[in-house]
């Protein structure tokens, strides 16, 4: 089963965390199932950028983003070439290393 390494984030997971994820599950669902509260203001509908992550390792094992995701990513804070919306990044069979950016463009945290 693939593993996802979430790098330390001062507020969301200060120690970082390694979780197992079944192939076919989204990065955000794997995070939420393991008490890593990544913001998701649009409830994982690919309608915002609050679940933006940077895939530091394993990026090319993910399917390519569609045009809607790419358009949304253009609005994300701290966009990098390996940026993805975690609601759209589906785990395949390769381990991932994921960084949660320090900020989102969300003005108010919903704390789901």
> DSSP letters of 39-94?
--TTSSSSS-STTEEEEEESGGGSPPP-HHHHHHHTTSTT--TTEEETTT-B--SS
Dihedral pair phi/psi, residue 67, rounded to 5°: -65, -40
- 11 vs 103, more confident: 11
Q: What is residue 106's predicted lDDT score, i.e. its pLDDT?
A: 61
Q: What is residue 103's predicted lDDT score, i.e. its pLDDT?
A: 82
pLDDT band, very low/low/confident/very high, at 66 (cuts 50, 70, 90): very high
Q: Is residue 1 packed enough to be buried (19+ CB in 10 Å), middle (13-18) or exposed (0-12)?
A: exposed
pLDDT digits (tens, 9 = 90+) for 2-59: 999 999 999 999 999 999 999 999 999 999 999 999 999 999 999 999 999 999 999 9
């Amino acid at each position: 089963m693939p593993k996802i390494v979430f790098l330390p984030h001062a507020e969301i997971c200060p120690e970082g965390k390694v979780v197992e994820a079944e192939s076919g599950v989204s990065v955000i669902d794997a995070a939420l199932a393991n008490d890593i509260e990544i913001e998701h203001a649009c409830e994982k509908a690919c309608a915002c950028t609050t679940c933006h992550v940077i895939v530091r390792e394993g990026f090319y094992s993910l399917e390519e983003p569609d045009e809607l995701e790419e358009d949304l990513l253009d609005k994300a804070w701290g966009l990098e070439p390996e940026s993805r919306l975690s609601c759209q990044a589906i785990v395949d069979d390769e381990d991932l290393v994921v960084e949660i950016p320090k900020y989102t463009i969300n003005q108010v945290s919903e704390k789901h």
